[in-house]
Amino acid sequence: MARKSINHGLPDLDRFLEGRERKFVTYAEGSDMYGIPYYSFVRLAKEAGANITLRKNAIVDVDMIEKYLEEHPETQDRVNSVRR
């Protein structure tokens, strides 16, 4: 009988992301990183088009969010207003 891998069925992201310069985070990690509420970060990621869905999990490309915030200063102001 084969043993199940320790990652509980999640794909091995390291082999896909190895050697790439981009930074990917989960919604919870992004929320903590930007210091904004969870659902505000989810909305920001969706607006920026930075979501990548892997099976039923989503990761967010931080580089795309940074670029979006640079191009949309009104969104940057909104993010600053909801910071904890």
- pLDDT tens by residue, 15-32: 655 655 668 899 999 999
Does the residue 14 lie in any domain?
A: no
State which H helix or E strand residue 16 sits in.
helix 13-17
Structural domain harbouring 61: 22-82
For the segment 39-63, what is each residue's pLDDT rounded down to a tens digit? Answer: 999 999 999 999 998 888 899 999 9
Domain contains 74: yes
Looking at residues 61-81, what average pLDDT do you find? 93
Considering only residues 48 and 10, tell me which one the structure prediction assigns the higher pLDDT: 48
* Rounded (5°) CA angle 82-79-43: 95
Q: Is the pTM of this model over 0.75?
A: no
Q: Are 12 and 55 in contact (CB under 8 A)?
A: no
- 37 in a structural domain: yes
| Structure token digits, residue 48 | 């920026």
Number of domains present in the structure of the chain: 1
**Cα–Cα–Cα angle for 9, 63, 45, nearest 5°?**
65
User: Domain for residue 5, yes or no?
Assistant: no
